[in-house]
Chain A
Amino acid sequence: MTDLAMTQLWLDLCTTMSVDQREQTRSSPREKLEVSATADDVGLIELVAGGDVRAYRQLVDRHLRGIHAFAYRMLGNRAEAEEVSQETFLRLWEHAGRYLPQAKPSTWIYRIAHNLSIDRLRRRRERSAPVAPDELPASERPSGLFLERQVAEAVQRALDELPERQRAAIGLVHYQGLSNAEAAEVLGVGVRALESLLARARRQLRDRLAALAPAQRKEEA
């Protein structure tokens, strides 16, 4: 083989290798994943597992509001809801490496928050000292109207009176918009069991909140 042929072969080989590398980069976007507004939660959790603080903050931006609202629905107390929210994201930061992509990231995060909330409710029972539910802060009342504030507080009281699992089911499905399957995964139950929890919770809430729907009573009369 002449020198010219060897050189041509070498150039062809280099070209082929560089194309292969580009293809490899395209086919494995995770390796080049960067934090951006469009990055999916799974990719962000992988980055958090590697210690990426920006990815962590992106996840906080996406999920803090929902987690905090869910914890408040479960506990009915603002201070405890804040503690559960903080603990949830600390667990996310420290244990992101344990996340298994079979579950949706949001489901995984809600499950952490749910378990922490249940722990707190259990400790409350052991202390047999119920925590008084918060009144809504003035700045967060729907419109400052007395009637609306009363409705909001009555709803929270009715939620507080539900059994924990029913409350969690309503909190996840009605308020946080999770599907029945996702909520079942968070609670660690089957979909049928979750649907049973939802049905009982809605019936109980309808009974307790009937006074808040005078128009409904008129119709039924």
Chain B
Amino acid sequence: MSAHDLDLERFEHLLDVHGADLERWPEELRREARELLSSSAPAQLAWSRAERLAAVLDAAPDILPSAALSARIAALPARYPQGWAAWWPFGNLLAPLLGWGAAAAFGLLVGSGVVPGLDGDFGASAPAAALAGVSASGEPAEDELAQGAAADGTWAEANAADELSGDDWSDFELALGLAPGWEEEP
């Protein structure tokens, strides 16, 4: 485009399109616009009008976002998690996992009877006491009595401790056909 193509009417239209800042004009139009400005008083008036409009528009300052808005927007990812986390209603995955893990560990410890403070004064549970060699009432277990008696050489007492009730023997002998008084039965 030559300088002759850029007449005043077109120049005014281009001012409306691109504004008064010639640096924002398309590069191929800048030189012609400057040439016209240097030689035409009406073009200078039109440019001056466009520049004043830009200055008036700039008198309306940008409204800055408040700190509260910035904080709300920065916190959006926590409120609206992406992916699978969006379907998980309990927040951070670590918290429930830790809770479940702690509960499972406590259950295992109680079950194995090695929880400190749950024996002795507080009364031992049967399985825990059995592992500790103490009866539920606090008396030594029968196996321990037998072992103690055997160690002392009192075999009779050990046998007595091992001896089952009379009914049990009768059942056993009955099962073998050797029950006492079997032959005495008519």
Contacts and interface: CB of A to CB of B under 8 A. Distances in A.
Interface of A: 51, 53, 56-57, 60, 64-65, 68-69, 72, 78, 81-82, 85-86, 89-90, 93-94, 136, 140-142, 148, 151-153, 155-156, 159, 170, 173-175, 180, 195, 198-200, 202-203, 205-206, 209, 212-213, 215-216, 219-220
B145 to A, nearest CB: 66
A219 B62 contact: no
B57 interface: yes
A57 B69 CA distance: 13
Contacts of B73: 60, 64, 85-86, 89
Given A57-B74, A216-B49, A78 B63 contact: yes
A151 B56 contact: yes
Nearest to B65: A68
List 4 tightest A-B contacts by C-beta distance, closest first. A155-B60, A199-B16, A69-B62, A68-B65
Contact of B76 (A69, A89, A141, A209): A89
A213 B66 contact: no
A219 B59 CA distance: 21
A155 B65 CA distance: 20
Interface residues of B, number: 34
B76 A151 contact: no
Contact of B66 (A82, A142, A153): A82
Contacts of A64: 65, 69-70, 73
Interface string B37-50: 00000000100111
B174 interface: no
12 contacts: A69-B64, A72-B63, A82-B66, A136-B61, A151-B56, A151-B60, A170-B57, A195-B17, A202-B19, A206-B53, A209-B53, A219-B45
A156 B61 CA distance: 10
A98 B59 CA distance: 38
Nearest to B13: A199
A204 to B, nearest CB: 10
A51 B72 contact: no
A146 to B, nearest CB: 13
A221 to B, nearest CB: 12
A219 B48 contact: yes
A140 B63 contact: yes
Contacts of A195: 17
A141 B60 CA distance: 9
Nearest to A134: B63
Contact of B83 (A51, A151, A199): A51
Contact of A65 (B13, B56, B64): B64
Contacts of A53: 77
B65 A65 contact: yes
